[in-house]
Structure 1
Amino acid sequence: MGVFDFIKAAGERLGIGGAPATSESKEVTPPPTAEQVQALVAKLNLAVDDIQVKLNGDTVEVSGTAASNEAREKAILAAGNIAGVARVSESITTPDGEAASTFYTVVKGDTLWKIAESHYGKGKGGKYTVIFEANKPMLKDPDKIYPGQNLRIPAL
């Protein structure tokens, strides 16, 4: 079980055309409903069974059983990268023995290449594809990340 912080003003706007909000946005986005969050996570087919979502203010509480730690982490990111969500509290069970990824919050000027070099080392920018693959299906294009978005950074 863990609690993960997100930037409330950044993320996908559910029910408002889906365009990402940024942390610099002045628009006030209403918090999502538990049903909207649960539908988004289910739509992404993240291999989390019996997923349950509750909303407590700007905190999303997610529970269920994930097929892997990767599926668990993707469910956390899917729930947290929604405008209006500041925190995800999760109690998703997973099989034992899988390594956890690092979570990273995108800042203005970041690219997946720069993020890969900062996490994997100088000259390893080409490993951005590992980060891109680790964040599918939430990321659909490696060039479309935005400030405030949280990403999984798996170990190499």
Structure 2
Amino acid sequence: MGLIDFVKAAGRSLGIGSAEAAPSADELKKEAQSHGLDVSGVDVAVDGDKVTVSGGTASQEQKEKIILAMGNVAGVAKVEDKLQPATAADTSSYYTVKKGDTLSAIAKAQYGEAGKYPVIFEANKPMLSDPDKIYPGQVLRIPPKAA
């Protein structure tokens, strides 16, 4: 739980207003659903550029993906996480993509091995459809290092 920062001007445009205008709670839920995420037990509140998500999710992974799906939308600067997963698991960290980053470079920095980029790619599906299609300002899930 906590507050996760996003780049307000970066992210997927939902085709509503400008990148400065935050989408509605319904639009954010539809965005998460478009990625195959179950938001039936999730409540969403929008206050300016801050989104608060609360309620329950099936897993820690679903929780983190819902936060990312909603946070990586133009107009959203912060997501306050009040979601409770039904099953406990280690939490992922978050990484904001910088200009020139690749998944391999991020994997090298996070795991010490560039060849671990598929771990990051898989952790961010279905929001990522191609490991070469990341953009500056995008926030990614970085799963914990395997023991």
TM-score normalized with structure 2 length: 0.91
CA, structure 1 residues 56+99, in 2 after alignment: closer, same or farther (shift >3 Å)? same
Conserved in 2, the CA contact under 8 Å of 1:2 and 1:89?
A: yes
Q: Secondary structure at the match of 2:7?
A: coil
Residue type of the alignment partner of 1:152: R
TM-fit CA distance, 1:107: 0.1
Conserved in 2, the CA contact under 8 Å of 1:106 and 1:151?
A: yes
Q: Pairwise CA RMSD of aligned residues?
A: 1.5
Alignment deviations for residues 104-144 of structure 1 (CA, whole Å, 9 cap, x no partner): 000000000000000001xx111100000000010011000
TM-fit CA distance, 1:38: 1.0
Percent identity of equivalent pairs: 53
TM-fit CA distance, 1:96: 5.0
In structure 1, runs of 5+ residues without a counterpart are: 17-26
Q: Secondary structure at the match of 2:53?
A: strand
TM-score normalized with structure 1 length: 0.86
The corresponding residue for 1:144 is: 133
Superposed, 1:33-112 pairs within 5 Å as 33-112=24-103
Residue type of the alignment partner of 1:143: D
Could you list the runs of 4 or more consecutive aligned residues of structure 1 that deviate by over 3 angstroms after TM superposition?
A: none
The corresponding residue for 2:4 is: 4
Matches of 1:96 and 1:50, distance apart in 2: 14
State the number of aligned residues.
144
